[in-house]
Chain A
């Protein structure tokens, strides 16, 4: 049961991240392989605040969300100016830069060995120590984020974002604020990333750079692609399916040294298979 709970917790955290990636890549059409970096910043900020007892859990989450919001706007800024492939390189570059920072900024991040003994989350003085109440917290956070995503996408703002992806020039010509709209999408995605990072750090109570590297960004992208881009349902299905995959793999006999490679390779194969045969994913719209 404990095991199943932790699967559900991780899946709901990744749903929040999937929403962020979907918002940028699927809806606004801003290619990003640096969302794992944002996720990592959220996790590290929270861990730093809690381990050093700077503040409580909720203010730490707010800090993480705020930091990620600002950071995501800053790293998406190039996308507002340069189109297409130049931003792809920038996005990859930011991911590599973040990994370098997580690995080498020993004073703040603990370097390659990561940060351990992160205290559990607490809400209004009530410590959330057992898995059951952590699950409640994560599911609540997930539902809240899904609601925010749903409301934003069904508002005039959501239509504006979609219109920008279809034809940016036409939107600009009709006097709509293109750049603020894109920046707002990045901000919202940043908040999602920060919140997810906070939950992740407090749930595992241990973080290290390997959870926030390029492979993690590819995993996030796979989740959105497999679940289906541009829809709420897609962002929810993707993480639940892809996180179940390692559990299925444990039933096949492979040496533990190979497990990570096989899993990552399989995510890659899924990406290709979906792009070739079903670009809209399980429950999405055409990418």
Chain B
């Protein structure tokens, strides 16, 4: 039953990672910014929820309020950092370094303001477990799967069938033409940042419920997510979500043959090898 348990654990982590991956993909394919600071938003969300919980709010309040706050944070990032850089015609490298700087600020501010050590939520609902065909799951894990899949479905629907979603895709495919047809790329970028930041806040909290919060782990999560984005084909939400699940399931299964602290390293080793052989990713057009 160990195999099944690992499989399910991988699935749970993969769902959370999938949301990180496709929200990053949303930003990346629209604004073309390699938004490393996304990991900062992810981490911040968990800590905000923790503080709300400490202030006596039930966890559900955090789940609703924090994404709104993070959406605002996303807009601020776009307006105060990426927009000015774009107006200055900064090169890709400059934007990336700025984003990396923001990530360093957010992570270290969290370590200073909250704690550099691991924090756990006080609530008890999240550790209650149920057993299903020999697999033990806690409520936080179940919530992770349900909410993540729901977010994935909702985002997929929104990008395909709503006005905003179509506008985002139009700007992504041709910003110049979008400008001409008065789709306001800059406003759209801010919208995408808001949406993606709200989305990434949710796994930030859900994983926190399950495993606790640490200031610096977000970087690894985001990078594993970007691996999934690239391997799944840039711009494909489904690709990013599914490959995320595949990656984490494989990482969990690898526990059968080697100690856990190597799994992240091995993931990137495979990715580097993969990049050498197939630099364009699995599904991207040649």
Our verdict on whether A and B bind, yes or no, reads: yes
Name A residues whose Cβ lies closer than 8 Å to a Cβ of B: 25, 29, 31, 33, 75, 77-78, 81-82, 84-90, 92-94, 96-97, 100-101, 103-104, 214-215, 218, 221-222, 225, 257-258, 260-262, 264-265, 267-272, 275-276, 279, 287
A215 → chain B closest CB, angstroms: 8
Known: A96-B268, A265-B107, A269-B101. 4 other contacts (CB 8 A): A89-B227, A100-B262, A261-B116, A265-B104
A208 → chain B closest CB, angstroms: 16
Give chain B residues whose Cβ lies under 8 Å from the Cβ of A261: 108-109, 111-112, 116
Confirm or deny: B193 has a beta carbon within 8 angstroms of a beta carbon on chain A.
Answer: no
- Mask, B88-116, CB within 8 Å of A = 1, is 10111111111011111101110110001
Question: Quick one: which of B111-133 are within 8 Å of A by CB?
Answer: 111-112, 116
Contact A82 B275 (CB under 8 A): yes
Q: A78-B279, A221-B97 are in contact. Are A272 and B264 (CB under 8 A)?
A: no
**Secondary structure dominating the interface of B:** helix
Give chain A residues whose Cβ lies under 8 Å from the Cβ of B34: 85, 88
Identify 16 residue pairs between A and B in the complex whose beta-carbon atoms are under 8 Å apart, listed by A's number. A31-B96, A77-B276, A78-B272, A81-B275, A82-B279, A87-B275, A93-B269, A93-B271, A97-B265, A218-B101, A264-B108, A265-B112, A271-B98, A271-B104, A272-B101, A287-B94
Contact A275 B105 (CB under 8 A): no
Contact A279 B94 (CB under 8 A): yes
- Mask, B185-221, CB within 8 Å of A = 1, is 0000000000000000000000000000000000110
Confirm or deny: B84 has a beta carbon within 8 angstroms of a beta carbon on chain A.
Answer: yes
Contact B268 A94 (CB under 8 A): yes
Q: Which of B85, B104, B276, B280 contacts A276 (CB 8 A)?
A: B85
Contact A86 B279 (CB under 8 A): yes
Contact B104 A86 (CB under 8 A): no
Give chain A residues whose Cβ lies under 8 Å from the Cβ of B226: 89
A15 vs B262: C-alpha distance when bound (angstroms)? 32
Q: Give the B interface residue count (CB, 8 A).
A: 48
Give chain B residues whose Cβ lies under 8 Å from the Cβ of A86: 230, 275, 279, 281
Give chain A residues whose Cβ lies under 8 Å from the Cβ of B116: 257, 260-261
Give chain B residues whose Cβ lies under 8 Å from the Cβ of A82: 275, 279-280
A153 vs B212: C-alpha distance when bound (angstroms)? 50
Confirm or deny: B181 has a beta carbon within 8 angstroms of a beta carbon on chain A.
Answer: no
A147 vs B208: C-alpha distance when bound (angstroms)? 51
Give chain B residues whose Cβ lies under 8 Å from the Cβ of A269: 101, 105
B238 → chain A closest CB, angstroms: 20
Confirm or deny: B261 has a beta carbon within 8 angstroms of a beta carbon on chain A.
Answer: yes
Q: A268-B102, A270-B101 are in contact. Are A287 and B265 (CB under 8 A)?
A: no
A100 vs B259: C-alpha distance when bound (angstroms)? 12
Contact A275 B265 (CB under 8 A): no
B213 → chain A closest CB, angstroms: 15
Contact A96 B261 (CB under 8 A): no
B40 → chain A closest CB, angstroms: 10
Contact A93 B223 (CB under 8 A): yes
Q: Which of A78, A93, A221, A262 contacts B112 (CB 8 A)?
A: A262
A29 vs B112: C-alpha distance when bound (angstroms)? 34
